[in-house]
Structures are given as C-alpha cells and as structure tokens.
Chain A
Amino acid sequence: MSEKKTAWERMQLVHTSGRPTVRDYIPLIFTDFYEMHGDRFYGDDKAVMGGIARLDGRPVTIIAQVKGRDLNENKACNFAMPHPEGYRKALRLAKQAEKFHRPVICFIDTPGAFCGIAAEERGMGEAIAKNISEFMTLRTPVVSIILGEAGSGGALALGVCDELAMLENAQYSILSPRGFASILWKDASREKEASEIMRINAEDMVRLGVAEAIIEEPLGGAHNDLDKISENIKEYLSQKIPEKCQKDIDVLLKERYTKFRKIGEFIE
C-alpha cells in the first residue's frame, strides 16, 4: 500500500497523463469485448462507451466513461464529459443487460456531464434523472468502479449500484474544487484548500457510506503498473460479480435502495 496522499496530491495524480483509462483496462480484465453504439434516438456519444464482454467466462455488460490518452483521443471523447445521448446509450445497454440477465459493470471517470447549449436542449437534467431512477430498480446486479475522477450528477448517472468501489486515488465530488472555491469564496485560486475541505477521497466515501470498497493502486499510482492495477480490479470484480449474481434480485434491489436511502445526516 502506498503512503496516504492528500486530496490535492491525488487530484494531480488522477490528472497525470498516462493514468490508465477504461480502454487500457478492458483487454486486461475481460475477454470477447464487443462495443455497442448509439442511444437509438439521437446519436453515438463517444464520451460513454458500452458493450458486452466476458468476465471469467461470464457474459457481462460494460458501461464506461471514456477519457482520452492524448489530446486527439480527448477531443474525440469530449474529455469524458457526456451529452444526454451518452446517458441514454448507457441506459439502453443497462436495459439490454437486464433483459438478458447479465450483470452490469460501470466504470466512472468523468469531470462531469458536459455543460453546453446542445446538452441543455436535449435535456441533460432529464437524461441523468432517468438513469438514476431506472438504475435504482434495474433487475440485474450493478457494480460501479470510479477509476479517476467522478464529478457530480454526471458521475452519479452511472453510480446507482449495488456496490461502489474506488481506485485508491480516485475522487468523487459534487463539483470541482475549483468550482467550489469560486462559488463559495469567489476565488477559484483557492482550489487546493477546497479540495481538502470537501472530503472527496476514497476513504471519505467509505466512511460516508457512499462507497464500499477501495482498490489498491501500485506504488505511486495506477500508471506505474498497468498489469498490477488491472489485476487488482479484476480480482475485485471476480469476487463481487458472482456474489451479487447469487443474491435474490428482490433482496438485492431492496439493499440497493437502502444503501442510498440511509445517506444523510439530520436531527429530529
């Protein structure tokens, strides 16, 4: 286990070029991957990819936010910031998984849903809301893993699951520390301070009941040993997927709702 890093250090680390993306992981974790395209309404959002593959021989559906490994790839996938059609593609594939009794594995890696005119015109709010509510009752197991950054509702749209795991240095936040500092303190340059105060690390997520597991990264971060980190992710999935598939689906759904239902702190 590498030494514990501060939120700010982790933030730099998940933005390191060379940090593995879902495209690096898929061939090392799954076999027979077939990518599927399009939301059947509008288009094919390259920020979200999905398809069918085998995990230890078992058919599974994979849905993932895609980061580029260089500028050209990033331009093509819009820096992993999906449009509404990306979320609708995700939901289509999730429903397909439900129909064919395949568990769903979501890989989250996004700064957030894209903020733009077209995204609003095509109903970003509706698309995210629909995913959140439909995933809550999706009658097949769902396991999500945060690979790097998970920003806001754009991440949660792939994050309603039976169990959420985070790579050791991955972060989950309601908005970027920069946005946080600029709204709350009217000073975006205080983002480092914001990152520490916001509680966005994997350990915070486990403590708050948001995540259940932390997947260890190689010393210095995931980019230092792709084989090792892929092995760790696979090990986690190879244990969790059969475990969730064995459960009675009604029990699983009840537990899924309860997981979110109990998050919050109030006094009566």
Chain B
Amino acid sequence: MFEDFFNVVKKRFNDSDDEYKPPMFKCPRCQATNPLSKYEELHRVCPSCNYHGRLSARERIAITVDRESFKEFDADMKSGNPIDFPEYNEKQEQLRENTGLNDAVVTGTALIKGSPVVIGVMDSRYMMGSMGSVVGEKITRAFEYATKNNLPVVMFTAAGGARMQEGIVSLMQMAKTSGAVKFHSDSGGLYITVLTDPTTGGVTASFASLGDIIIAEPKVLIGFAGRRVIESTIKQRLPDDFQLAEFMFEKGFVDMIVERKKMRSVLSHLLKLHGFDKKEV
C-alpha cells in the first residue's frame, strides 16, 4: 500500500516535472545534469565539477576586454577554396548564417583593464575551430601588427581538428602562424596563450604551444592527437582525466590553470607585470 502511494506521488511528481521542465545542461566531463540557466549564469561553467564550457568568440571578448574597447581586424575576410573541395563554399555559407562569423577566429585590438593588447579568440562553432586560410592569415596578421606596434598578444585557442577541406594549405597555416609568433617573440613581444575547450591538433602543434605564458581553463581538453585516435592505436581505453588541463599542467605544459571569473584580472596583472600599464586616453 505504501508502495502504491509512493508510485502515485512519484507519478504526480514526474508529471509536474514534465510541465515545468527547464532546459538542462549535461556536463561532458562529469555527466551531471544541471539547469541550463545555472550553467549560463556561471558563464558556462559546470556547477558540479567546474568544467569550463565553450564560449563564442563574441561572448569571450565581452567578458575579457574593457567595454567598447574592441576594434576588430579583417572582419570581412572569407575563405577561398584552395583545393576546390566539393561543397566547401556552400558549407561555409551556411555556417556564416548560423554563427554570424566569417571564419573560426576573431582578432583585433582591445584594452584589458586599461592595458592595450592584440587579442585573438577562436570559436569552435565554426568548423570545430579548425585552421584554414582565414584563421592562419588573421592570426599571422595579428602577430605582425603586434610586432610592429610593440603590443602584447593574448590568444584564446579552441580547435577540434584540421580544416580538411583546405588540405595541405591548412597544414601550412601552422608554419605561417608559428613564424609570425617567432618574429614577435624575437622582437621582445609578450605572448599569453589561454587554452580553452578544446585545444587539439595543428593549433596545439603551432601557436597555442608557443606562448611565453600558457594559461588553461579548468577541465578543458588539451592535446595533439585525438582521444579516439590514440585509443584505436593503443587498443585500450584512456583514463578520464587524460589530456585535461590538469593533466597537461601536471606534465609541465601549462603555467597556470585560471578560472573564467578570474581570467580578466589575471591577464591584467600579467600585462602590467610586463610594463603594459593603463594607457592614458
């Protein structure tokens, strides 16, 4: 009898649950389910495990730089089709519509608590943040501008793989961007990398790993080879924490892990420690 009563209550509870069901966020790291509103409120941080989720480039810029200080470079640059890949143009047309982006990175100048920077932010919604001609060219130009104007560079990386539709041209962007980073570095320029979810593949094997200071957000994925590729090579399952920020920190490839809510102030302090003080306007 009590059991019946319980079932009735449960049923009723579930019914009412259906009616007000708020949108939920299921964390890819800890699998916990929390109300999406809570996750959004925390700027996309999992309330259960502190996984730092993905932001769009515009959202990232908004929470990182001084209000209205961002001036974008090359906003209209769009990719060609260097190896005449079938349906590449159409696919991009659709992505532009869906994301409001012209490619997977947004670059420009901005102020962070008054300190001038060249900033680049990748956006994984656009073809997994892969590096094609446009990403390569915009990042290269951003570094060249910073070198010329003695500015520091802050780069938020996010990339889930190669821009396969640009074939070898995509691979060459690794050399192009790394070259620009090297010239900036040789001229004494400060470069801070912030690794965000996910930073893998060619981006990891080029400009993402070349920062003077490398910061990562908690629990983000960082690596060269994809998890599934490694698992199929070694024929065994990888531990859950493999290639997370904390793992890369432990192995010595990350200087510090910084929470999103503190990122702006940490960046500001680091910039000031390198002499990039508030610019008098």
| Interface presence of B86 (CB below 8 A) | yes
Q: Which of B62-70, B116-124, B179-187 contacts A (4 or more CB under 8 A)?
A: B179-187
Q: Known contacts being A175-B162, A175-B164, A264-B82, is A119 close to B182, with CB within 8 Å?
A: no
Closest Cβ–Cβ distance, residue A241 to chain B (whole Å) = 21
Chain B interface main SS type: helix
A126 to B226 alpha-carbon distance, docked (Å)? 15
For window 69-128 of A, CB contacts with B under 8 Å fall at: 113-117, 119-126, 128
Q: Which of A113, A115, A157, A184 has the most CB atoms of chain B within a 10 A radius of its CB?
A: A115
Chain A residues contacting B134 (CB-CB under 8 Å) are 264, 266
Stretch with Cβ within 8 A of B (4 or more), from A16-24, A52-60, A129-137, A226-234: A129-137
CA distance A153 to B168 in the complex (A): 10
For A159, the chain B residues whose CB sits under 8 A away are 175
Q: Which of A30-38, A43-51, A216-224, A255-263 contacts B (4 or more CB under 8 A)?
A: A255-263
- A199's nearest neighbour on chain B, judged by CB, is B83
Contact between A267 and B234 (Cβ–Cβ < 8 Å)? no
Number of B positions contacting A (CB below 8 A): 63
Contact of A129 with B209 at beta-carbon distance under 8 Å, contacts A124-B225, A153-B174, A197-B85 already known: yes
**B206 is an interface residue with CB less than 8 A from chain A:** yes
Query: A265 with B164: in contact, given A125-B205, A125-B223, A136-B175 (CB under 8 Å)?
Result: no
State in angstroms the CA–CA spacing of A117 and B226 once bound together.
11
A contact set with B: CB distance below 8 Å: 113-117, 119-126, 128-130, 132-134, 136-137, 152-153, 156-157, 159-160, 172-175, 179-180, 183-184, 197-200, 204-205, 208, 210, 257, 260-261, 263-268
What residues on B are CB-neighbors of A208 within 8 Å? 82-83, 168-169
Q: A116's contact among B161, B182, B234, by CB below 8 Å, is which?
A: B234
B179, A136: Cβ atoms under 8 Å?
yes
Q: Does B74 contact A (CB under 8 A)?
A: yes
**Cβ-defined contact, A205 with B168, below 8 A:** yes
How many angstroms from the CA of A264 to the CA of B140 in the assembled complex?
11
Give Cα distance in the complex from A266 to B79, angstroms.
Answer: 4
CA of A267 to CA of B170 in the docked complex: distance in angstroms? 16
Q: Are B207 and A268 in contact, with the CB atoms below 8 A?
A: no
Given A156-B171, A156-B175, 18 extra CB contacts under 8 A: A113-B205, A115-B224, A115-B233, A116-B230, A120-B223, A120-B243, A123-B209, A124-B225, A132-B174, A132-B205, A153-B202, A153-B224, A174-B162, A175-B162, A198-B164, A257-B179, A264-B137, A266-B80
